[in-house]
């Protein structure tokens, strides 16, 4: 649904996006992560046909954004970083205005439908200036959906929202994905990315990594199990270290952190060997690295290189 080939954008001497090549499949949620200034918003703007690339190209829903932006805009929806409404006009009037640019749509019906879906029907005639940030964000999502787009670009959709509203928003995004829409989600919230995204792209001007959260985790960190024991002595440590499938073992007081080639397969045998060596196991669990660990590791690696 989205394809980019060496997509590059410069602003004067500054390189904002460098040779970005990626593919997003239809119906997929792609998380687009990166530090501030990594080129996330610039990428969204290029893909949404708002700014042109310096070189390279993109295809979104079979349309070149730089060549046919008007045709593209009929099939994409954008939720920008700042919601952007005419604050002195009502929520309904704002939606009607934006809906008025699309072809073959019943403006009034679509506006009412999405005001209701976002829980704003009771406030539809109120000025947007009186809305909270969460309400504005919901209204902005309603605006992005008015014309039933196939592809949605969401730039920091939950930034600045309170946890409850952010959760509602995530549920809405899941529902939209369930309807078969392709979602390009730009976020700093790694928990959100992990919960929502099928795949994650980490960028810092250029693409650092692109894979499922699980594959990124495995690629970046070895899988390890943590064994808590009543006590640990050198014999026990040696017995564990001698096991053929153990890649590494670290001791921290009465705790062993063991790197295994396949924890699901090797964990029972590891437990049996510890018991055989006289160890008394209190707890055994797999150490699961967070997406935040993966992200930071990727970004720092790139920084170092």
Q: In this structure, what are the phi and psi dihedrals at residue 85, rounded to the nearest 5 degrees?
A: -130, 160
Residues 171-210 that bind another protein (CB under 8 A): none
CA dihedral over 36, 39, 41, 44, signed as positive or negative: negative
- Residue 101 binds another protein, judged by CB under 8 A: yes
C-beta of 186 vs 291, nearer to another protein: 186
- Residue 55 binds another protein, judged by CB under 8 A: no
User: Contact with another protein (CB under 8 A): which of 26, 37, 55, 82?
Assistant: 82
User: Contact with another protein (CB under 8 A): which of 5, 15, 50, 271?
Assistant: 50
C-beta of 73 vs 181, nearer to another protein: 73
Residue 95's Cβ-count burial label (10 Å; 0-12, 13-18, 19+) is buried
Per-residue binding letters, 8-47, with another protein (x by CB under 8 A): ---x---------------------------------x--
Residue carrying structure tokens 């530090």: 35
Q: CB count, 10 Å around CB of 224?
A: 20
Residues 131-160 that bind another protein (CB under 8 A): 140, 143-144
* Number of residues this chain uses to bind another protein (CB under 8 A): 34
What lies within 8 Å, CB to CB, of 32 at 6+ separation is 40, 43, 44, 184, 185, 186, 187, 201, 203
**Continuous segment of H or E residues that includes residue 163:** helix 163-178
**Continuous segment of H or E residues that includes residue 266:** helix 263-276
User: Contact with another protein (CB under 8 A): which of 13, 14, 36, 103?
Assistant: 103
Structure tokens at 119: 């829980």
- Residue 78 binds another protein, judged by CB under 8 A: yes
Q: List 207's β-bridge partners, or say none.
A: 203
Which residues are near another protein by CB under 8 A?
Answer: 11, 45, 48-52, 70-71, 73-74, 76-78, 80, 82-89, 93, 97-98, 100-103, 127, 140, 143-144
């Amino acid at each position: 649904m989205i394809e980019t080939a060496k997509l590059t954008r410069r602003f004067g001497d500054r390189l904002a996006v460098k040779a970005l090549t990626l593919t997003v499949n239809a119906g997929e949620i792609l998380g687009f992560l990166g530090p501030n200034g990594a080129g996330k918003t610039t990428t969204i703007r290029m893909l949404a046909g708002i700014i042109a690339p310096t070189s390279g190209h993109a295809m979104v829903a079979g349309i070149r954004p730089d060549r046919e932006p008007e045709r593209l805009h009929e099939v994409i929806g954008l939720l920008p970083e700042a919601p952007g409404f005419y604050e002195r006009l009502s929520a309904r009037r704002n939606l009607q205005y934006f809906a008025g640019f699309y072809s073959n749509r019943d403006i009034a019906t679509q506006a009412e439908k999405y005001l209701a879906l976002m829980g704003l029907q009771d406030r539809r005639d109120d000025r947007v200036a009186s809305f909270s940030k969460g309400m504005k964000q919901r209204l902005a999502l309603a605006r992005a959906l008015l014309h039933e787009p196939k592809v949605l670009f969401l730039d920091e959709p939950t930034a600045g929202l309170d946890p409850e509203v952010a959760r509602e928003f995530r549920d809405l995004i899941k529902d939209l994905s369930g309807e078969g829409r392709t979602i390009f989600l730009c976020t700093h919230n790694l928990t959100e990315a992990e919960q929502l995204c099928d795949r994650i792209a980490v960028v810092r001007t250029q693409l650092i990594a692109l894979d499922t959260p699980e594959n990124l985790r495995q690629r970046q960190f070895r899988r390890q199990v943590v064994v808590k024991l009543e006590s640990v002595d050198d014999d026990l440590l040696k017995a564990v270290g001698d096991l053929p499938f153990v890649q590494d073992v670290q001791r921290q007081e009465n705790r062993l952190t063991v790197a295994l080639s396949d924890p699901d397969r090797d964990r029972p045998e590891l437990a049996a060997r510890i018991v055989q060596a006289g160890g008394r196991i209190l707890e055994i669990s797999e150490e699961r690295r967070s997406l935040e660990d993966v992200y930071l590791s990727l970004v720092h690696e790139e920084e170092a290189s």
